[in-house]
Each structure stands twice: as C-alpha cells, then as structure tokens.
Amino acid sequence: MIEPPAALYTGSQSDFRLGKGPDDRYRRKWKRIKEADNKYLRVVLLEDGVTVHNAFFDRRFME
C-alpha cells in the first residue's frame, strides 16, 4: 500500500483550490504536493463535499 503524502493531512480545507464542472454532482479540489515533485493532487468529492469519489495526480492542471 502506498502512503499518501503527509501534506494531505496538514493545513486546512482552504489550502485546496475548488472547482466545479458542468455536472454539479461532483466537487473537484486541487492541491500542490511538494513531496511529490510539486505535482497537483486532484480530489473529486461527491455532492456532500466529504465523501471522496476519486483522487489522483492531475497531469493537465495548470495555474
């Protein structure tokens, strides 16, 4: 099992950038993870904003 970077457990929810697509069923959040060569982690949440649907490093994210 791969351990997630410690940066996921530190900081607040406001550290994540929030985005919504045309489909409001999901909320998308991004955060730069220094321990992973500054890649952006994309976390897709369900409507409740708490339940994680998917999480992955987003190669196409641009600031």
pLDDT in tens, 6-62: 555 555 555 666 666 666 678 888 888 888 898 999 888 888 878 888 899 998 887
pLDDT at 13: 55
Q: Taken in order 55, 57, 59, 63, is the CA torsion positive or negative?
A: positive
Strand order in the sheet with 52-57: 17-19, 27-33, 39-45, 52-57
Q: Residue ranges per domain, the chain? A: 17-57
pTM: 0.65
What is the tens place of the pLDDT at every residue in 35-51? 889 899 988 888 887 88
